[in-house]
Structures are given as C-alpha cells and as structure tokens.
Amino acid sequence: MVGQATKLHLDEIKILNSEHVKIKDRIKVEHMINEMIYGGRNKLQVVSDFDYTITKQRLNNGEKVLSSFGMFNCCKSLPSDVIKESQNLFNKYRPIEIDPHMPTAEKVIFMIEWWTKTGDLLKGFSLAHNEIDDVAVRFKDGLRDGTHELFRDLNELNVPCLVFSAGLGDSVVSVLKQAKVLHPNVKVVSNFLQYNSEGLLNGFQEKMIHTFNKNETALEGTDYYDLIHDRDHVIIMGDSLGDAGMADGMPVTTHILKIGFLFDHPEHNLPKYMDTFDIVLIDDQTMNIPRAILEMIKTKDYPKIF
C-alpha cells in the first residue's frame, strides 16, 4: 500500500479535474493511480487501440483520418470489384458490430464471418507493399498531439506498449513507422496481410483479431506474453467500448486503468462510457492525460509538464 505521506489526492491533480475529464468512481481512480505510482515503471504496461485512439478522432482542418482498413482501400492496385464487395460487407456487418441489443456471443459469429470474408477477398492479385506506405504517409501527422512524446517516454522507461488493432496491421505499422514512433518497446498485434510464393496476396495471416477477441488472451504462447504477464499495472486506451476489455486475461489482481476517448454524441454516449472506462475524455485530441499519468509514475510526484 501507499504510505499516507506520499498519497496523491485526485482533487489536487489539476489536469484530471478539467471540464472534459469525466470520472465515475473517483476513489477507485485515485487508488489505482497511487498504486501505479508506488509500483513504478517496472510494473507498468500500456495497451492501446490504434484507429481513432492513436490517430485523432477530429483533425483541425476538418478532414477525416482514415481507419487502417480505409487506408488499405485507397491502394491503387486494389481491384474495383474487391472495393465494391468490401463496401457491401461493411454495410452488412458494421450495424451488427455496433448493435446495442444483440448479445456479444451472437455478434462474435458474425464478426468471424466478416473478417473471414474480407480475408478471402484479398487473394490472388498483386499489391506492392509500398502502396500502403504511400497512403499511410498522409496520416503520419494525424496522430494525437503528444503521441511522439508519450511513445518516446515509454521507450525510455522500458515500458512495453502493445498496440492492439482489429484493423489492418500493415497500415498500422506503416503509420507508426512513418511517424517515427515504432520504437523497440512497441508491439503491434493485428491482422497482417499474407503473400503466397508468387508474391500474390493470400488473405490474412493467423490469428484473426476481431472486435471481440481483442484482449491479452490472444497473446498466450507468444514471447510478448512472457514479457508482460507479470506487469500487472495496465493503462488501457481506446475509443470504442470494446477496447476496455483489452486487458482481459490478465490476473484478477491486476490494476487496469481504462482511459476512453469519446467524440461521437457525447451527450448520448457518456453514461455508457463512464460505466465502461475509468476516465472518459470528451473531444480530447491529445495524449495529455496518459502523459500526465506516466509523468506521475515516472517522477512519483504531481505532473509538472502541464
């Protein structure tokens, strides 16, 4: 436990008392932050979603950042019938993915169908990998403000950072690489394209990551799991409700601080986000809050960077 003398009080952490920062259970968050400060960098890991979590939900110039699948769909060698069919699949399955009434167990079947059909579409034609880079480079400046600093600090502190995406890993890696944040402590777990011996696309590599299996159990048996499974202080970042489950599979004693970025219809979505995430940030296109928390863990003191 944290000694009284060193205990931080949530009320005194200015940045966590900003108007757009919503916290349902202040005692729990205060306790977790203190535990994380006490445990220090060696107990910590970060798990982040990619689309609209590392990338911005809103750009200053009003343009929209594409999702990782969206970037791939802009590649010039993609046959037009593939684009068309992929759009049909999106129109069919996306409403199921976000249906507030259907139970998750039922959705899983549809999501496996969606990702499988998309994989099947991406077979038997050639698509040079640098086409993805050419699209992704347009979004390297679309990362949340402070992402470079956050990733730099995590690397310097040797804190493992898992970027978990049910999207297309090739786009994710390309953006992160071109933005110069793909440091050695960063691991991307996602769906990656596979090529056959003739250099033609051959769907996705194993194992499929979809919306509802996006959690640490997907890592069992990998070297990364060995690296992180005893780091039981986890900061999660996501923009979708499902992202809050990314540390499922970690031992029950784990402290998991869930940060949710809410942009769409906050007045309608806030209650659900506050039930699901420990800290909800409304239209915050920066990494200031995760940075401030990391700063406290790093310095064992109030954040001095803001």
Backbone angles phi, psi at 7, to 5 degrees: -70, 130
Q: Interface with Mg ion includes 97 (CB under 5 A)? A: no
Q: Interface with Mg ion includes 52 (CB under 5 A)? A: yes
Q: What is the DSSP letter of 42?
A: G
Look at residues 88, 87, 91, 86 and name the one whose alpha carbon lies nearest to residue 121.
Answer: 86
Q: Interface with Mg ion includes 49 (CB under 5 A)? A: yes
Structure tokens at 281: 């940030």
Stretches 31-39, 87-95, 100-108, 292-300: which one binds ligand MG7 (CB under 6 A)?
A: 87-95
Look at residues 277, 41, 285 and name the one whose alpha carbon lies nearest to residue 161.
Answer: 41
Stretches 37-45, 84-92, 100-108, 140-148: which one binds ligand MG7 (CB under 6 A)?
A: 84-92
49 binds, among Mg ion, ligand MG7, none (CB under 5 to 8 A by kind): Mg ion
Q: Which is nearer to Mg ion, 51 or 216 (CB)?
A: 51
Q: Round to whole Å and give the CA distance between 38 and 7.
A: 9
Binding mask 202-241 toward ligand MG7 (x if CB under 6 A, else -) reads ---------x------------------------------
Q: Shortest Cβ distance from residue 174 to ligand MG7 (Å)?
A: 15
Q: Interface with Mg ion includes 278 (CB under 5 A)? A: no
Q: Round to whole Å and give the CA distance between 229 and 199.
A: 37
Q: Shortest Cβ distance from residue 240 to Mg ion (Å)?
A: 5
Look at residues 175, 134, 130, 133 and name the one whose alpha carbon lies nearest to residue 151.
Answer: 175
| Residue owning tokens 């999501």 | 111
Stretches 66-74, 180-188, 221-229, 252-260: which one binds ligand MG7 (CB under 6 A)?
A: 66-74
- Stretch 144-173 residues interacting with ligand MG7 (CB under 6 A): 165-167
Q: 21: part of which helix (H) or strand (E)?
A: strand 21-23
Q: Helices in the chain by DSSP H: which ranges?
A: 26-39, 68-72, 80-97, 104-121, 129-136, 147-156, 169-178, 223-228, 266-276, 288-299
97 binds, among Mg ion, ligand MG7, none (CB under 5 to 8 A by kind): ligand MG7
| Residues carrying an active site annotation | 49, 51
User: What pairing do the DSSP bridges indicate for beta strands 161-168 and 44-49?
Assistant: parallel
204 binds, among Mg ion, ligand MG7, none (CB under 5 to 8 A by kind): none
Q: Interface with ligand MG7 includes 67 (CB under 6 A)? A: yes
- Position 127: which residue type? L
Hey, is 32 helix, strand or coil? helix
Q: Interface with ligand MG7 includes 57 (CB under 6 A)? A: no
Structure tokens at 20: 């757009």
- Position 111: which residue type? M
Q: Which of 53, 57, 68, 285 binds ligand MG7 (CB under 6 A)?
A: 68
Q: Which is nearer to ligand MG7, 30 or 49 (CB)?
A: 49
Instruction: Give the interface with Mg ion as residue ranges (CB under 5 A).
Output: 49, 51-53, 239
Instruction: Give the interface with ligand MG7 as residue ranges (CB under 6 A).
Output: 51, 67-70, 73, 86, 89-90, 94, 97, 114-115, 118, 165-167, 211
